[in-house]
Amino acid sequence: MLRQVTEDHLDDIAIGAAILGTGGGGNPYIGKLLARESIREHGPVEVVPLDEVPDDAFVISVAMMGAPTVMVEKLPAGHELERAFRAVESYLGRRATHILPLEMGGLNSVTPLCLAARVGLPVLDADCMGRAFPELQMVLPTLYGVAASPMGIADEKGNASVMETISNRWTETLARSTVVDMGCTAMIACYSVSGAQAREATVPGTLSLNEELGRLVRETQAVNGDAIGAVAERLGGRRIFSGKIGDVDRKTVAGFARVESRIDGLDGDAGVSMTLYTQNEHLAATSSDGGVLATTPDLIIVLDLETGDPITTEELRYGCRVAVVAAPCDPRWRSPEGLEIVGPAYFGYDFDYVPVEATAART
């Protein structure tokens, strides 16, 4: 179990973050650089397991919101997350005792460490999704009736505000418009909860899992082992396709990176192609022979076919040789209430959710 994050942990955490991020959550390399500078300046970050958090703790979730592809040209400055965080504290008239990652994927696994180092607070070994999802209301706290607002939002130019909304869906709608005006990325602080609520409404141990996954990839590569198989086994999933990216149709629309990729099969998948549908995160994978290979809310992870390194949404390119792994999500997402906000129908797909364990393996 991870009890402290030092500079030495960041490489492994960043790799694990890109795996659990299912393509989204922002480029963890950028987050790693921000966290490294903060830890060098302010010291290591304490990590607290959920079962050690007092019931009356005051916990605030933080993340980057927007289209991850924009970060190729628009980098965060580093101060905006603290500004959003302090805005929520000021609005509520309370000082936070702990910081909680909103999602355990990509940049958003690492930026809470940057903030924690800067403000001298511990980070919970947990998150609100167990992966990354594209919209703000798509968190387990929503299923438990926790409000996203008051939500602080800040950009790198110094703009900041706090919004109070009537529902988490409205928080997403209004915040998304603001993020677009801020340049399609901004930092947010939201979902303020007690320690008791955090234990009930989050996924435990995911920061430690990030570090473990990154270490697993690194150590497996060092002995020329099967990093793809090691990741799939650790997550209880399996490889569902292997191929070469033949086409990538990428757009930034309404604050999201929307991508449709065609992957042409190799080896056992030769003669068949996969279509991968992405809205910041990979949400569905279908086969040219008519099958649904995997779909949200299960994790769809794209890895380099040779090394097993994770490939994020903004890194998808023609010619990349990839393996696609699918793994089960937190079981609460498979409930009727969970599927209502993160299932295929919400995103407009005309097929029902089928757990990845029940889909036919191709490879």
The domain that holds 94 is classified in CATH as 3.40.1610.10
- pLDDT digits 0-9 by tens, 220-263: 999 999 999 999 999 999 999 999 999 998 877 666 778 899 99
Q: Average the pLDDT over 321-334 and give the result.
A: 97
Residue 343 vs residues 93, 146, 291, 313: alpha-carbon distances, Å: 37, 20, 17, 20
Statement: residue 363 has pLDDT above 50: no
Report if residue 306 sits inside a domain.
yes
Instruction: Decide if 172 contacts 98 (C-beta within 8 A).
Output: no
Give the domain extent around 269: 231-358
Is residue 148 located within the same domain as residue 268?
no
Higher pLDDT, 111 or 44: 44
Q: How many domains does the chain have?
A: 2
Same domain, 29 and 84: yes
What confidence category does residue 29 fall into, taking pLDDT thresholds of 50, 70 and 90?
Answer: confident
pLDDT of amino acid 30: 78
pLDDT at 86 over 50: yes
At 321 the pLDDT is: 97
- Whether 219 maps to a domain, the answer reads no
Mean pLDDT of 285-289: 92
d(CA 202, CA 204): 6
Within this chain, do residues 83 and 198 fall inside the same structural domain, yes or no?
A: yes
Give the Cβ contact number of residue 94 at 10 Å: 12
pLDDT for residue 115 is more than 50: yes
Task: Evaluate whether residue 71 is within a structural domain.
Answer: yes
Do 305 and 190 have their domain in common?
no
Residue 197 in domain: yes
